[in-house]
Each structure stands twice: as C-alpha cells, then as structure tokens.
Amino acid sequence: MDLEISPLALPFPDMPPIEGVTLRVARAQYKKWDRCDLTYAKLAEGTALAGVFTKNVCCSTEVEMGREQAKRGKARALIVNAGNSNAFTGHRGREAVEQIMAQVAAHLGCDSEDVLVSSTGVIGVPLPKDKAQAGVAAALTADPCSWEDAANTIGTTDTFAKGATVSAMLGDTKVTLNGIIKGSGMIAPDMATMLGYIFTDAAVEPEFLQQCLSAANERTYSCITVDSDTSTSDTVLAFATGKAGNAPIASFDDPGADAFMAAMEDVCRQLAHLVVRDGEGAQKFISVSMQGAVSDDSARKIGHAIANSPLVKTAIAGGDANWGRVVMAVGKAGEPADRDRLSIAFGGIWAAKNGLPLSDYDETPVAKHLAGQEVNITVDIGLGQGQATVWTCDLTHGYISINADYRS
C-alpha cells in the first residue's frame, strides 16, 4: 500500500556527523521491496548504552534481550531489521537474533552482548536467517551513509524520514545529540512499532545516560499517543561515544549535566512529535495541556484519557470545539476531578469555566483555530498544581483505511 506523505510532515534536518558513529545500510530483502531494509550503526569502543522499552507484557525477543543489554550499559553496534518484527516466533526467532549478534561481534572483535538488534515489521514469521546473514554481511562492508538514509531504512509504514539534532555546551566542550526514529500508527504491534535511536559524542556514564533517557521518556515518548495501542516491540536506545572529550558526566552534580539532560529531553521531544506527525491518517497535531490536577502524574493520566478518546479525536477531525467530550474524557480517567471546577479552552480561548459554558463564549475564533493544523486544548482541573502536556493527532477516515486494509 502506497501512503501519501503526512500533511504534518517536517523536512529532514541538517544533521552533523557524530564522532564514533558510522552508519551503513543494506538490502536484506525481508520483504519484496525495492529499498534498503537493514541498518548498521558501528559505535566506537567505550560507547555507553541506555534504553527504554515497551511496557507491553507480550514483548518481543529483541526487547527482552535489549533490556538485559541496557543493564550492562555498553554497546559496539546496532542492527535494525525492517519488514519483519520477529515477534511471536519462539526459539527460532531468538536464534536469528543471536546469529546476527555473533556475526557482527566476529567482524568487530567484540562481545556479542555488545551488539543491539531491533526488528520491526510483520509478526509471527521468524526472521529468515539466510536473508539476515547476507544482509548483515553486505551492511558490514557497505559505504557509510547519511543520517537521512538510515532514518529511511529503519522505517516501514512511515511516510517521511524522521530526525532531530540538538547541541549543548558542557563547559567549553560542544556536544551533539542526533536522533532518528520510526513509527507512524502509535503504536501498532507490527509495522508501526516505534523504534528510536539517539547518538551523542558526549562522554556520559551509562547509569547517568539511563537516568537522562528515562526522565526524558516520561515527558516525551510517554506523553504521545496515536491510538492508545502499545506495541510489543517499542524501543528507544541512547548511545554515547564519549569522543567529544568532555569530562565524563556521572551525576547531576557534574558540570554540564543539566545542559545534557535538557538537550536529551529536547531531542526526545522533537522525535516524539515527529511520530505523532506521522500518525496514521493524521490531519491535525493536537497538544493537550493539563493544569490544576492533584499531581503531575494525575495530569498525565487525564491528558492521556483525553488524547485517547475516539470521541474527542473525531470532534477535532471535524473542527468541532466539543468541550462536552473533553469533560467526559476527564471524568472517565479515574483520577480526582470535579465537574464544577473544570475549565476548558481551545487555542487559548476558554469555552467553559468551573463546569459551565461561558455566556460570552465566541465560537468564531475557536472554529478558526480548529481549522488549522495545530490544535491546542487546555484543561484546568481546578484542584491542585499538577501539570503535564500530552500530544496526539486527530482520528480520521485515513486511520480506518490504513488499519482496516493493512494486511490485504
């Protein structure tokens, strides 16, 4: 199925090289398609590793192994297979992953545990070992490629390549964080799995890298949703080569730690937004800004209830400032809320305050706001200081077409 480029697509940014990272792509031909589908990132010795993974309890072999590798905290290579997720394939699937790890490790002369593998695509079919072997062999010796080539190669149903780059000063040392990500439906169990990779030349201890990635994840990847479904393979990995030459950061007490954390969150937020912008059938990018909840966690949960509500998402698709559906979504979140303290705004214009529609509410500017591609919903729970922002897209005929017809 050929998909049109999302109307919310952004151009691929100009991304500088990261010292200690070399990207290569090859054709494993996991599917019958005329494109590269195997990505290889070679990482310098001493590269630190961190990872966050799907909370779906039916996760893939790659996720189970990745969790263990992230605990070790070091990496020398990443292989990403596109076109076959290798999920629900039992021991044969695991053998395919172990074969790839051994093959790359032999080439680099490293431990096989230092080779990370991700797979995305159809499920229930073991990754074909012969195609994987030939694909990896081709990738190991291919010419280095660009960030955009790699971003395209990890993609499946994505309609555009997704990348982000952020720089930060750690004392006198400039460091760069480059990220690429794939995922469109958020988050389907097969082709639309979210896989994200952040590469930096900063010197960061693995534990602190994990701390930063986990914190950023809470406020970025964990705050986006397209359809409430969560993939069995979702993975975000961070690699720090240490080649920038800064004094290694081990805690927030170290110089530059705050700047690094801010840069990590920035690049993660950009990447997360790009996934929403490629949401299946998305026509509008929706920010749900919560305030006044009893806690930040409560704010995030209510925000998700709103962002996952099919009735809210179809209303926005129809350009309808239906604040009643927002009230409904707040009420079903299971978090503290009081109908008579609730206030709701679209595009900064309050439609309802303290549970009642405003008598002087003018729908004209709100309708104009909802006709645009960027929609802001603000909800004040009126009970406390808890805040959060959740991002999603509208629910359209395009979503139905893509997902009802996917396998056929």
**Closest approach of its own copies to the CB of residue 34, in Å:** 25
Among 14, 57, 109, 172, binds its own copies (CB under 8 A): 57
Compare residues 58 and 169 and give the one whose CB is closer to its own copies.
Answer: 58
Rounded to 5 degrees, what are φ and ψ at 64?
A: -60, -45
Question: Which member of 61, 120, 193, 225 is catalytic?
Answer: 193
> Quick check: 209 and 238 in contact, CB under 8 A?
yes
Contact set for its own copies, span 148-167 (CB under 8 A): none
User: Does residue 350 bind its own copies (CB under 8 A)?
Assistant: no
- Tell me which stretch binds its own copies (CB under 8 A): 20-28, 67-75, 226-234, 258-266: 226-234
Name the one range near its own copies by CB under 8 A: 24-32, 68-76, 127-135, 334-342: 334-342
- Residue 339 binding its own copies, by CB under 8 A: yes
Please classify residue 36 by burial: count the beta carbons closer than 10 Å to its beta carbon, then call 0-12 exposed, 13-18 middle and 19+ buried: buried
Contact between 227 and 394 (Cβ < 8 Å): no
What binding mask, one character per residue, do residues 238-277 give for its own copies by CB under 8 A, x or -? ----------------------------------------
Out of 81, 84, 86, 89, which residue is the one contacting its own copies (CB under 8 A)? 89
- State which H helix or E strand residue 106 sits in: helix 90-108
Q: Residue 209 or residue 282: which is nearer to its own copies going by CB?
A: 282
Q: How far apart are CA 14 and CA 104, in angstroms?
A: 29
Considering Cα of 268, then 273, then 278, then 281, what sign does the dihedral take?
A: positive
- Residue from the set 101, 293, 329, 390 that interacts with its own copies by CB under 8 A: 329
- What is the total count of residues that contact its own copies (CB under 8 A)? 65
Q: Name residues whose C-beta falls within 8 Å of residue 335's C-beta, 6 or more positions apart in sequence.
A: 293, 294, 298, 301, 302, 305
Figure out which of the listed residues 7, 245, 357, 365 binds its own copies, where binding follows CB under 8 A.
357
Q: Kindly tell me which of 288 and 329 has the beta carbon lying closer to its own copies.
A: 329
Task: Enumerate the β-bridge partners of residue 169.
Answer: 174
- The single residue listed with the structure tokens 């990272």 is 21
Q: Which residues contact 269 (CB under 8 A, 6 or more apart)?
A: 216, 219, 220
Stretch that binds its own copies, among 26-34, 238-246, 251-259, 350-358 (CB under 8 A): 350-358
Q: Who contacts 241 (Cβ-Cβ below 8 Å, separation ≥6)?
A: 18, 19, 20, 21, 43, 44, 46, 47, 199, 200, 201
- Tell me the residue type at 67: R
Per-residue x/- mask for its own copies, residues 14 to 43, rule CB under 8 A? ------------------------------
Q: Could you say whether residue 90 binds its own copies (CB under 8 A)?
A: yes
Which residue is listed with tokens 């790699």? Answer: 150
Q: Which of 128, 144, 248, 331 binds its own copies (CB under 8 A)?
A: 331
The identity of residue 281, as a single letter, is G
Q: Which residue has the tokens 């919310």?
A: 8
Per CB under 8 A, does 360 bind its own copies?
Answer: no
Cβ-in-10-Å burial (0-12, 13-18, 19+) of 239 comes to buried
Q: Which residues in the 185-204 window bind its own copies by CB under 8 A?
A: 185, 188-190
- Whether 193 is a known active-site residue: answer yes
Residue 357: how many other CB atoms lie within 10 Å: 12
> What is the smallest separation between the CB atom of 150 and its own copies, expressed in angstroms?
26
Residues in region 283-322 near its own copies by CB under 8 A: 308-311, 314-315, 317-320, 322
Residues within the interface to its own copies (CB under 8 A): 55-59, 87-90, 123-125, 185, 188-190, 227-232, 308-311, 314-315, 317-320, 322-325, 327-332, 334, 336-340, 342, 352, 355-357, 395-397, 399-401, 403-408
Which residues are tagged catalytic? Answer: 193
